Amino acid sequence: MEVRRQIEVSGIVQGVGFRPYVYRLATGRHLRGTIRNTSAGVTIEIQGPAETVQDFVEHLPAEAPPLARITSLAVHEVPCVVVQIGGDQDFRIVHSAEGEEVRTLISPDVAICPDCLREMFDANDRRYRYPFINCTNCGPRFTIIRDIPYDRPSTSMAVFPMCPACQAEYEAPLNRRFHAQPNACWECGPRVELWDKAGKRTECRDPIVEAVSALHAGLVVAVKGLGGFHLAVDATNSAAVARLRQRKRRVEKPFAVMVPDLRAAEEICELDDAASAALQSIQRPIVLLPKKLRPGGDARLSIIPDEVAPFNRYLGIFLPYTPLHYLLLSEGGFKALVMTSGNQSEEPIAIDNREAVDRLNGLADYFLVHNRDILLRCDDSVVRVAGGVTRQLRRSRGFVPVPVFLKDDQPSVLAVGGELKNTICLIKGKNAFLSQHVGDLENAESYSFFHEAIEHLERILEIRPEIIAYDLHPDYFSTRWALQQSEVQLVGVQHHHAHIASCMAENHLEGRVIGFALDGTGYGTDGKIWGGEVLIAGYEDFERAAHFEYVPLPGGAAAIREPWRMAVSYLAHHFGREFLRLDIPFVRQLNRPKAELLLRMMEQGVNSPLTSSCGRLFDAVAALVGIRQQVNYEAQAAIELEMAMGSSKIVSSKTASPEKDTAYPMKLLPELVPEDDHWIISTRPLFEALLEDLGRNLSVGTISRRFHNGLVEGFVQLATVLQQKTALNRVCLSGGTFHNIYLSERLEARLSEAGFEVFTQKEVPSGDGGLSLGQALVAAAKLHA
Ligand SMILES: [Zn+2]
Ligand SMILES: [Zn+2]
């Protein structure tokens, strides 16, 4: 019996080879019907024997092209169409009516696909070694779009008219390059050039070959990629890496490394299935993985010298994603290239050729440039893989602008994020569009990138926000910007409330939850610096159910750069000046005059704001056990305190329940002290136990583990107390502290064991990069409650 079905598909289904795919799926089954683009996606009508149609519907989502993202698929029964001569006898791609607005989700920039890669290395192919080869399954999208609708004239490919061969591919419905907007070849497309450090084009036969020789000679080459420039050096050449570090004035902060393939990755890092999948995914993020230890546990025998990621057990590695990357690595036979963002320390990544020569002056010896303009900067994404789960640390290239899909329709909101690792978020309907990584809003270049990101996203997504959400911190650049906007409703959102709401939104939660929001800094409703917060929260509001006890942050920002100050602050807070008589290395090595100054500062309340920060607690412990007195990049002390426990291979956070762990002292727990209607988490017992451990000369690794475990058990106790009070059973974990793999895995496992339903962040960073999502949801809820 014949049936006919109408299938409406929404999501990212245009410009990604979806129509040719459906055509093949239908004709392969001898089904009749049509497919056309609509404003929501595509509509398919399909007719044939009931079983075959059913089979078609089942296969439709499963085998969709790599860039397609189906968000909904609705199947309706419709009457069969009688077959007439010249009528609906086969399957046809129906072109959209003239003038009909076709607007849909835009796909992100993704890695070159296997088909294009094969063609590029095929000497008989017309695109042999062509560095801009692409098709509907791969290549640039988001970073070359000027405006919508997404058509070649609205992209930076507009200046390259297609040659007849490319045009024919572009127009053939069954061709892999059907409507591939960046389609190009040697005849008609962009070209690569090698410039010297003054920006002068070098005369050479093959710019890529020349760039490779420069890299082999240990020089720094700026390479234009998809979302901006990288600074590249041979990662196995320690002198070259050291030179790049020195020029970039980047002390100790790890560099990411690009390796030619999975096998090369395996030689350097510990890989499991999830890590391999993340590395090879079309998004090609930087994946943080444990460095492989050589026999005898010596990481120094790796081909990657220490300078790449000093004092770090992890390495950020990624695979090539542009054709140019593949050509560079294969031509040079490199085992690994350092590929770090092309910028001066904390500025945004450079994208324009002239801008690069200008801003990377003194950093790069050569510039491998091309004339396909990058219209929007977009840094590499960074993920970590632990326990088989991939989590976003920096959600950017490859993922943006794929929305986070929400449970319910929302009003149009713009959320402007925080100060560090800034992202913005635009919401429309059920889609939350997070911007690429904007970075730390600390200089003029970042401010203009912030404006750029907002304008560009509003334009290509056609969102006019009714509401703007911002952080409560009065001095944040993003907050000041928001408060200058008119004709919109403005809603301030508390930092940690936004973290918990971000976790709730990603997990499609409603109602109220117990939220652990742990991080370094966030402005509190009492004007103090919060950071170790346990909230009872819904989207519209929150109660502060518990927090770490306040201690002074002596010197403000200086205390963040110098963890020893936090150790002194905690010791003085708990033990008074008595602590100076303690016979432990930290006190013995203390610079007395400086410590004295600090103590007086705190006693007189000068430049010593109070904080309940969890990040600063980690800093204090790291300094106290002798790991680090000063940091060179954000969260360095906390990261090294975690690493002190050993690599994740050796230490599994999930094994060994506390009862079985005989070394575990139950007194190493924070204490819950009631105050008014909430709890103060007192760290005094924890520091007493730490000092005792230090006196017994326990290893730093053991102390670190006991500290982590102590916090976890304290949090489980606290969650249990709150559960009894509120009858809530769902716990959300968010905030930058949860980038700590050991802490997050162990807390999640222990809370689950205690019967809680635990929710964490995967798709969106739990750090400040995910803040804007939470801000948007809170603002929407407050105004539409
Ligand atoms: Zn391709
Ligand atoms: Zn061409």
- What is the tens place of the pLDDT at every residue in 544-567? 999 999 999 999 999 999 999 999
| Residue pair 342/368 in contact by the 8 Å Cβ criterion | no
Question: Ligand 2 center to residue 29 CA distance, Å?
Answer: 34
The pLDDT value recorded for residue 771 is: 98
Q: Is a pLDDT exceeding 60 seen at residue 486?
A: yes
Q: Is a pLDDT exceeding 60 seen at residue 121?
A: yes
Question: Ligand 1 center to residue 117 CA distance, Å?
Answer: 7
Q: Which ligand is nearest to the CA of 186?
A: 2
Question: Ligand 1 center to residue 136 CA distance, Å?
Answer: 6
Q: Is a pLDDT exceeding 80 seen at residue 330?
A: yes
Q: Is a pLDDT exceeding 90 seen at residue 529?
A: yes
CA 342, distance to chain mean position in Å, is: 18
Q: Is a pLDDT exceeding 90 seen at residue 671?
A: no
The pLDDT value recorded for residue 658 is: 45
| Residue range 31-45: mean pLDDT, rounded | 88
- With CA atoms as reference, report the closest residue to 14 among 78, 67, 79, 85: 67
Residues in the chain: 785
Tokens at 383, concatenated: 């993920």
| Residue range 53-59: mean pLDDT, rounded | 95
The pLDDT value recorded for residue 666 is: 53
| Residue pair 614/531 in contact by the 8 Å Cβ criterion | yes
Euclidean distance between CA atoms 360 and 248, whole angstroms: 9
- What is the tens place of the pLDDT at every residue in 454-469? 999 999 888 899 999 9
Q: Which ligand is nearest to the CA of 130?
A: 2
**Average of per-residue pLDDT values in the chain:** 92
The residue ranking higher by pLDDT, 103 or 577, is 577
Question: Ligand 2 center to residue 17 CA distance, Å?
Answer: 19
Question: Ligand 2 center to residue 172 CA distance, Å?
Answer: 14
Q: Which ligand is nearest to the CA of 133?
A: 1
The pLDDT value recorded for residue 301 is: 59
- What is the tens place of the pLDDT at every residue in 171-218? 888 899 988 999 999 999 999 999 999 999 999 999 999 999 999 999
Question: Ligand 2 center to residue 163 CA distance, Å?
Answer: 4
Tokens at 686, concatenated: 């924890």
Q: Is a pLDDT exceeding 80 seen at residue 664?
A: no
* Residue 71 backbone phi and psi in degrees, to 5: -100, -30
Question: Ligand 2 center to residue 352 CA distance, Å?
Answer: 24
Question: Ligand 2 center to residue 125 CA distance, Å?
Answer: 13
Range picked from 243-257, 296-310, 464-478 for highest mean pLDDT? 464-478
193, 395, 548, 646, 749 from 742: Cα distances, Å: 46, 21, 20, 10, 11
| Residue range 703-711: mean pLDDT, rounded | 93
Question: Ligand 1 center to residue 183 CA distance, Å?
Answer: 10
The pLDDT value recorded for residue 661 is: 47
The pLDDT value recorded for residue 333 is: 96
SS3 of 110, please?
Answer: strand
| Residue range 133-158: mean pLDDT, rounded | 90
The pLDDT value recorded for residue 782 is: 94
| Residue pair 664/706 in contact by the 8 Å Cβ criterion | yes
| Residue range 532-536: mean pLDDT, rounded | 98
Say whether the peptide bond before residue 114 is cis (omega within 30 degrees of 0).
no
Q: Is a pLDDT exceeding 50 seen at residue 272?
A: yes
Determine the residue type at 763. E
- What is the tens place of the pLDDT at every residue in 63-110? 899 888 898 899 999 999 876 655 556 898 887 654 444 566 788 999
Question: Ligand 1 center to residue 168 CA distance, Å?
Answer: 17
Tokens at 573, concatenated: 């807070």
Euclidean distance between CA atoms 367 and 207, whole angstroms: 10
Q: Is a pLDDT exceeding 90 seen at residue 495?
A: yes
11, 177, 319, 413 from 430: Cα distances, Å: 11, 31, 33, 12
The pLDDT value recorded for residue 14 is: 81
Euclidean distance between CA atoms 206 and 721, whole angstroms: 68
The pLDDT value recorded for residue 668 is: 67
- Show Cβ contacts of residue 12 under 8 Å, excluding neighbours closer than 6 positions: 67, 68, 69, 104, 105, 106, 107, 402
Question: Ligand 1 center to residue 177 CA distance, Å?
Answer: 8
Q: Which ligand is nearest to the CA of 170?
A: 2
Q: Is a pLDDT exceeding 90 seen at residue 662?
A: no
The residue ranking higher by pLDDT, 624 or 386, is 624
| Residue range 331-355: mean pLDDT, rounded | 90
Q: CB neighbours (10 Å) of residue 508?
A: 11
Q: CB neighbours (10 Å) of residue 525?
A: 14
The pLDDT value recorded for residue 747 is: 96
Euclidean distance between CA atoms 75 and 73, whole angstroms: 7
